[in-house]
Amino acid sequence: MSAQRRALFRVSTGRRRLVLAVAFVIAFVAVVAGATLAAPPALAAGSYFHGTYAGIHGVRDYHGYVPSSYRPGVAVPVVVALHGCTENDVGFDLLSGWSEEAERRGFIVVFPDQNNLVNPAGCWNWPLSINQHRGAGEPAIIAGITGRIRADYTVDARRVYVTGVSAGGVMANIMAVAYPDVYAASSILAGCEYACDVFQSRPAVESGHDALAEMGSRARPVPTVIWQGTADKVVPPSTADRIAVQWAVVDHIDTTPDSVDHGQVPGGRTYTHLTYRSASGEPLIEQYLIDGAGHSYPGGCSCSLYGDPTGPDATGLSWDFFLAHPMP
C-alpha cells in the first residue's frame, strides 16, 4: 500500500464526525439565509482531496484523487464511485483501487460518503422514493458533489461516469436514470434495477418503463456494464438480468444478448461476458457473470472483506468501458 493510501486510511473517525456535525450547522444556516456554501480550493495535482458538500437536500462528506498528470485548463474525465453498506468512501477506495487507476490512466475520481446519521449501516437509502428521482434526496446530493468537482477542476463534461457496488450499485443505476445528461455511462456491481423490486414479483420490463418515465425528455441510451457473482447470497444473481432488461427497454433494443463469451482470470475465476448491441452494432449493455463469486468486488483488494482478487478486474474493465462511451 502506498504512503498516500496509508495516510488516507488513517483519517480519524472522530475528526470526520466533528467535521460532519459542524457541516450540518453550516448547511442549516446556509439554507435559512439562502446562501451558497463556498467550495474548498482544489488541492495540488497528484494528491487526495476531501470536502463537505452542503445543500438543501442534505450534507455529505467526500474525498477523491487528482492524478499527477492533471493540468488546469486541460479537460479530464471524472468517475463518481459509490460505496456499499458497512463501508465508507475510504474503504471503497481501498477495496476498488479507483484512485490508483485514476493515477495510471489520467482521470479524477470522487467518492461520496454516506452519513451514518441517516443510515447507521452506511447504506445509500435507495428504497425511499425520495431517493429515486432527479432533484431530490440523495441523488441531488450526489449530483451536487459531481457539480462541485466540475467547478473545482477542468473536467471533460462528455466523460463523467458513475459506478457503485451493492447499495452503491443501486444508487449508481438511479443516478444514470435520473441524470442521463450528466453521466455518460455507468458500471453497476451487485446492484438492482431501477425502482428495485427485491422480491422480483413484477416483470423487469416495467422497471425500464419506470426509468423512461423518470428520464422524460432527457431519455437516451446510457451505456452500462453490469457485474454479478453467481453465488451471491445477498443480491440474487438473476438481478443482473433484470438490470439488463431495464436498460434494453430504455435503449430500445431486444433483451437477448448478441454475443456470449467465456473467459478466465489467469489462476482465478471463470466468467461469462454478455454483450447487447444497438442496431448499428454499438455495445450498449455488457454483463460479467462471475462463476462462484459471492457478494464481492471482482478484482478487489484482499485487504477488504468484500474484495475478490481472483475475479476479473472490475475497476480496469469498467474504465475501458467508460473510455469507449463518451456522452453523445
pTM equals 0.88
Domains and CATH numbers, the chain: 3-323 (3.40.50.1820)
Torsion from C-alpha of 214, 218, 221, 222, nearest 10 degrees: -80
- What is the pLDDT, as a whole number, of residue 40? 37
The answer for residues whose C-beta is within 8 angstroms of residue 33's C-beta and 6 or more apart is none
pLDDT, tens digit, 9 for 90 and up, residues 186-212: 999 999 999 999 999 999 999 999 999
Kindly state the cell numbers that stand for 68: 499527477
Q: Would the pLDDT of 77 be above 80?
A: yes
Give burial (CB, 10 Å; 0-12/13-18/19+) of 299.
buried
Q: Please enumerate in sequence order all residues whose Cβ is within 8 A of that of 257, keeping only pairs 6 or more positions apart, or say none.
A: 244, 274, 275, 276, 287
Each residue of 5-52: pLDDT tens digit? 454 544 433 434 433 333 333 333 333 223 333 333 343 458 999 999
What CA–CA distance (Å, rounded) separates 111 from 88? 9
Residues noted as catalytic:
166
Residues with Cβ < 8 Å from 68, sequence gap 6 or more? 45, 46, 103
How far is residue 318 CA from its own chain's centroid?
A: 11
Quote the CA–CA distance of 258 and 281 in Å, as a whole number: 9
pLDDT tens-digit series, residues 216-230: 999 999 999 999 999
* Predicted confidence band of residue 2 (pLDDT cuts 50, 70, 90): low
Residues 138-173 have pLDDT tens digits of 999 999 999 999 999 999 999 999 999 999 999 999
The amino acid at 283: P
Mean pLDDT of the chain, nearest integer: 90
Which pLDDT belongs to residue 6? 54
Segment 77-91 shows an average pLDDT of 98
**What is the end-to-end Cα distance of the chain in Å, rounded?**
38
Which grid cell sits at 121? 449501516
Count of alpha carbons within 13 angstroms of residue 4, beta-carbon side: 14
Average pLDDT over residues 58-73: 97
| Among 173, 303, 177, CA closest to 235 | 173
How much of the chain, in percent, has pLDDT values that exceed 90?
86
Q: Mind giving me the DSSP string for 131-192?
A: GGSTTSHHHHHHHHHHHHHHHHS-EEEEEEEEEEETHHHHHHHHHHHH-TTT-SEEEEES--
- Alpha-carbon gap, residue 311 to 290, rounded angstroms: 7
Grid cell 426509468 in the structure block, residue: 211
- φ/ψ of 24, rounded to 5, equals -60, -40
